[in-house]
Amino acid sequence: MNGKISTRQAWLLSSVAIVSSEALYMPAYLMQAAGRDAWLALILAMLIGFPTAILVVLPGLRFPGQNFVQYCEYILGKIPGKLAAFLFVLSYLIILATTCRELSDLLLVALFPHTPIIVLIGSMSMVSAYAVNRGIEAIARVGEIVAVIVFGAIYLVVLMSIKDASFSNLAPVLEKGWRPLLSGISVQMPFLPQMIVVAFLLDKLDRPAAAIKATLGYVLLAGFTFTVIVTVVVGVSTSEYAAVQMAPLLTLARTAEISFITRNEALVIGLWVLGSLVRFSLFYYLVTSTLGQVFGLQDYRHITLPVGLIAAVSSIMMFTNIFELNRFITGVLAVYHPILFIGFPALLLAAAVIRKKGEPTLPVIRRAYQEITDDLASFTSSIKRVYYSIVMPAK
């Protein structure tokens, strides 16, 4: 399966896989930790995210044409490289289990209270297994479509709620000092480093050198979207009220007045299910393809069903309820993910530089910088043309 995806598809796929899954729950986690300063914690986390986005893909950009397992083996040696890749496989399996349980628990509470949870988990696993067998191209195409729908719906709900928001609820800023703000940043640590998925897709990109654009785009889109959601949620319902809710975005959707939709919360849940399926399919693909590379399999599809079975069973055995899942995400993963998903690429890059393996890093960054500046210039030119066509239409 040697399909290729575009930089735009990688950007939208990684963005919708993270944002759609966390948009319901993460605002509550943030406001429990940072209170009304949650929006400021998001902005600071976004600033941290930009250099992190560059860091996680730089090791792979030094070895064009090689996948994650190959350049890990080249830098660290065959056995240590395979062990490092296998550690990421286990980490992605944990993400699979948590995603599966999050979605199943929400469906159980909101729509199917009398359905056995194993039925929901099994259905999700089978749908995603089919997508994984179709390859990364199919997942990327679906993710591209779902991303447009999900982000469009989120901003529609936010736009319809702004009129009810009182932004005086955001003041005073830093009322309790810096500690809640730092706690708010730490809450985002399970989610921010997940941009490393792009590093695992480098050999699938039609233009691998543009991977930095995809990760920076993810940080910008995800950070801006979460900031807008949290700001409007606090403006509408105050941070104290939003912090005790399970899904503040769902509550916001219920209060928003959208004339052509009668059940706004059903729209949010439906789109969240779509986004979570894309997320599950993406990490499902990463686990099977990386595991196939570790064991030297010709076709990763031979292990699709066993991996899905392991993820489904783990999602049931690891957590007895949604509260245990939340504690695991905000406690264990908040420490574990930054160490693995940020610390390991940094060590890998340092080892490659010290041992003088791969292409030089600076030219790679310069190429990425040039591409970004060219894209920004093109975007600015397009905006100017649209503006002048409206303000000074041709006679």
Q: Which pLDDT tens digit goes with each residue over 262-281?
A: 666 677 777 888 888 888 89
Q: Are residues 21 and 92 in the same domain?
A: yes
* pLDDT (tens digit per residue) in 158-175: 888 888 777 777 777 777
Cβ-contact 57, 199 below 8 angstroms? yes
226 and 369 together in one domain: no
pLDDT value of position 288? 93
Q: Are residues 105 and 141 in the same domain?
A: yes
Average pLDDT of the chain, as a whole number: 81
Query: What average pLDDT does the segment 120-130 reach?
Result: 87
pLDDT value at residue 45: 84
Same domain, yes or no, for 232 and 315? Answer: yes
Q: Is 5 helix (H, G, I), strand (E, B) or coil?
A: strand
Give me the pLDDT at residue 199, please: 83
310 in a structural domain: yes
Structure confidence at residue 239 as a pLDDT band (50, 70, 90):
low
Considering the domain boundaries, does residue 111 fall inside one?
Answer: yes
Count how many Cα atoms sit within 13 Å of the Cα of residue 345 in the half-sphere of its side chain: 25
364/282 same-domain check: no
Averaged pLDDT for residues 65-80: 86
Whether 257 has a pLDDT exceeding 70, the answer reads no
At residue 190, the pLDDT reads 63
Question: Six-digit token pair at 223?
Answer: 């950070």
Taking the model in full, what pTM does it have?
A: 0.86
Q: What is the pLDDT of residue 395?
A: 47
328 with 192, same domain: the answer is yes
* Rg, Å, the chain Cα set: 21
Distance, in Å, from the CA atom of 295 to the CA atom of 25, rounded to the nearest integer, reads 36
Structural domain of 153 = 7-357
CA distance 352 to 24: 39
Closest by alpha carbon to 228, among 14, 43, 18? 43
292-324 tens-digit pLDDT: 888 888 888 889 999 989 988 888 888 877 778
- Taking a C-beta distance cutoff of 8 angstroms, is the pair 102, 25 a contact? yes
pLDDT of residue 229: 86
Same domain assignment for residues 195 and 252:
yes
Structural domain count, the chain: 2
pLDDT value, residue 285: 92
Report pLDDT for 262.
63
Question: With 50 as the cut, is the pLDDT of residue 356 above it?
Answer: yes
Q: What pLDDT is recorded for position 358? A: 81
